[in-house]
């Protein structure tokens, strides 16, 4: 039975069109998949689901099974229908009642209905004629110079030619291909090129997924930071509401900047992928056409493919929150606010040193005044001279703290061997070498040559040990140990260990709270090393530089006291 006899069965009872992706119910009625899902989604009955045709009830909702038999019939029916354009081309042999043409003969330059086509095929005289889908205007398939059918493809000039062009025309010595050969070659070239574009699209898609992960992680970090800041600021609400608003605004602005950058990159990647998808779709449509249409349109499409490949893929820069800049701005606003200042920086700084963003993004160097952890502890220190190759102590020499350098929140003992932090400002006289903004103090002794070492015993979790040049700043964020090119410091901040120099922090593996630290200075070699001392030496960090002026042992003390030992 012909497919046309099944037209009633081919029609969906819901949309009254030929079935699309038909499924069958247990009552043997079939519907388009989208139609039955749409009906059940809009009008679920209280007693379950029902067939729109026979009203049979189903409870629970039945599984929808594909009607393969009906799918085959629909496919045959669709294949039997004449092309949309063919209805406008009539058979030139039908005189009284012209019938729609089903083929056009390029040799005879005429269109034929099914009856006359049969006669055409049975006549051996026409056996070599080329038949194509019905075409009303044959001028597109004729040579402009000789008015003959285009039958060959000139590979040298990349154009279709007629027989006369190959014999007497300008193409007589060129490389010629049949239209079938030309189509196969051009199709192969297009497939290679579009495969390259698809790989580009895959790379863009991978970058897009990275951007989405970055966006999610940055949003999470923004929420975490804002939550911690809000909790800290709430404890100081009465006197510091303006500071809270200011800090939150910085986080929001930085978050907007980072997310805006992500959106910009995302839009560029999406645009690139859309262009490739569009060209891919055009190629897929082109390969469905007849030989000549395919060849005539392929040149321009190949040119677009080449131009698209020349476009450089959008770069995805390192994306993360610039928390170091926020730390610097908060430091400047809250300078001199004591514990409040430390609490706020304690939220921003650990986040900026611990969080490095997505695994495929390199974070920017930590940089800002006051960006290093705020140290403080109980320390015991002993000093000595060592040889260049030695890690063992040589002859000890006394070391003492310099009162003229002590911050006003530090109290020095009479023998200048211990220091204690206090909230109450001390009545020290002004001195150009005194640290104004941080609880820091230097030793009176300096080193301008040779190799030296000193040990520091600690029993606290907030401290800093290092050296500074004598010309280091004594006020402002740059005076913080490790925040300038003239200071080097090792910090412990509640279990986290960092090494800071020139406003850059390096996160190190954590160490126990109670540990002896050995500092080793080789002035000529330009090295400053730190070791943990237990039964053996554990190397913590080494700075490599060039010293150009005398350096002084330096310490940061907060909350508790430190004591220097011979």
Transcribe 337-398 into DSSP letters: -THHHHHHHHHHHHHHHH---STTSPPPPP--TT-S------EEEEEEE--TT--S--S---
Rounded Cα gap, residues 341 and 346, in angstroms:
9
Rounded Cα gap, residues 91 and 135, in angstroms:
11
% of the chain beyond a pLDDT of 70: 82
pLDDT of residue 415: 82
pLDDT of residue 352: 45
Rounded Cα gap, residues 125 and 121, in angstroms:
9
**Which residues of the chain have a pLDDT value below 70?**
1-8, 43-47, 79-87, 236, 238-240, 317-318, 331-398, 513, 565-566
pLDDT of residue 81: 62
Contact 465, 533 (CB under 8 A): no
pLDDT of residue 120: 83
Rounded Cα gap, residues 43 and 51, in angstroms:
12
pLDDT of residue 349: 53
Rounded Cα gap, residues 294 and 187, in angstroms:
9
Contact 451, 521 (CB under 8 A): yes
* DSSP state letters, 131-193: EES--S--GGGB-TTT--B--EEETTTTEEE-HHHHHTSTTTTS-EEEHHHHHHHHHHHHHHH
Element (H, E) at 423: none
Contact 559, 462 (CB under 8 A): yes
Which residue, among 458, 454, 455, 487, has the nearest Cα to 470 in the 3D structure? 487
Rounded Cα gap, residues 152 and 179, in angstroms:
6
pLDDT of residue 344: 64
Residue 212, helix vs strand vs coil: helix
pLDDT of residue 547: 95
Rounded Cα gap, residues 320 and 254, in angstroms:
9
pLDDT of residue 32: 92
Rounded Cα gap, residues 325 and 558, in angstroms:
24
Residues whose CB is less than 8 angstroms from the CB of residue 507 and which lie 6 or more positions away in sequence, other chains included: 353, 354, 496, 497, 498
């Amino acid at each position: 039975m012909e497919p046309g006899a099944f037209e009633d069965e081919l029609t969906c009872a819901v949309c009254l069109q030929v079935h699309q992706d038909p499924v069958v119910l247990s009552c043997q009625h079939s519907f388009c998949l989208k139609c039955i899902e749409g009906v059940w989604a809009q009008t679920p009955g209280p007693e379950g689901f029902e067939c729109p045709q026979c009203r049979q009830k189903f409870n629970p909702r039945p599984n929808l099974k594909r009607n393969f038999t009906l799918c085959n019939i629909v496919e045959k029916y669709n294949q039997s229908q004449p092309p949309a354009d063919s209805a406008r081309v009539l058979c030139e042999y039908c005189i009284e009642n012209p019938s729609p043409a089903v083929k056009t003969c390029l040799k005879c330059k005429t269109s034929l209905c099914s009856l006359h086509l049969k006669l055409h095929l049975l006549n051996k005289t026409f056996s070599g004629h080329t038949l194509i889908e019905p075409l009303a205007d044959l001028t597109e398939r004729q040579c402009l110079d000789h008015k003959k059918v285009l039958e060959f493809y000139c590979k040298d000039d990349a154009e279709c030619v007629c027989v006369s062009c190959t014999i007497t025309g300008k193409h007589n010595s060129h490389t010629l291909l049949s239209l079938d050969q030309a189509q196969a070659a051009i199709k192969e070239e297009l497939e290679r090129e579009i495969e390259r574009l698809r790989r580009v699209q895959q790379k863009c898609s991978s970058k897009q997924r990275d951007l989405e992960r970055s966006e999610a992680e940055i949003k999470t970090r923004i929420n975490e930071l804002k939550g911690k800041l809000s909790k800290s600021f709430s404890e100081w609400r009465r006197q510091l509401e303006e500071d809270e608003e200011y800090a939150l605004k910085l986080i929001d602005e930085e978050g907007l900047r980072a997310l805006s950058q992500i959106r910009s990159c995302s839009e560029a990647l999406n645009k690139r992928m859309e262009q490739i998808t569009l060209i891919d779709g055009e190629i897929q449509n082109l390969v469905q056409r007849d030989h000549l249409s395919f060849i005539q349109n392929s040149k321009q499409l190949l040119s677009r493919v080449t131009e698209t490949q020349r476009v450089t893929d959008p770069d995805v820069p390192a994306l993360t929150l610039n928390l170091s800049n926020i730390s610097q701005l908060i430091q400047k606003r809250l300078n001199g606010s004591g514990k409040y200042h430390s609490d706020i920086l304690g939220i921003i700084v650990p986040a900026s040193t611990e969080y490095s963003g997505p695994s495929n993004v390199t974070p920017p160097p930590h940089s800002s005044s006051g960006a290093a952890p705020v140290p403080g502890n109980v320390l015991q220190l002993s000093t000595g001279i060592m040889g260049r190759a030695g890690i063992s102590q040589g002859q000890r020499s006394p070391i003492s703290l310099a009162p003229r350098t002590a911050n006003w929140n530090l109290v020095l003992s009479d023998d200048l061997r211990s220091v204690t932090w206090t909230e109450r400002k001390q009545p020290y006289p002004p001195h150009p070498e005194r640290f104004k903004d941080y609880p820091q103090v230097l030793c009176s002794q300096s080193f301008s040559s040779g190799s030296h070492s000193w040990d520091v015993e600690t029993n606290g979790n907030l401290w800093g040990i290092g050296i500074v040049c004598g010309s280091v700043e004594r006020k402002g964020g740059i005076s913080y140990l490790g925040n300038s090119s003239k200071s080097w410091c090792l910090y412990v901040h509640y279990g986290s260990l960092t090494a800071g120099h020139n406003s850059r922090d390096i996160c190190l593996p954590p160490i126990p709270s109670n540990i002896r630290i050995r500092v080793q200075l080789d002035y000529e070699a330009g090295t400053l090393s730190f070791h943990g001392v237990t039964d053996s030496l554990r190397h913590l960090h080494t700075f490599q530089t060039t010293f150009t002026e005398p350096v002084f042992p330096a310490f940061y003390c907060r909350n508790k006291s430190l004591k220097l030992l011979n």
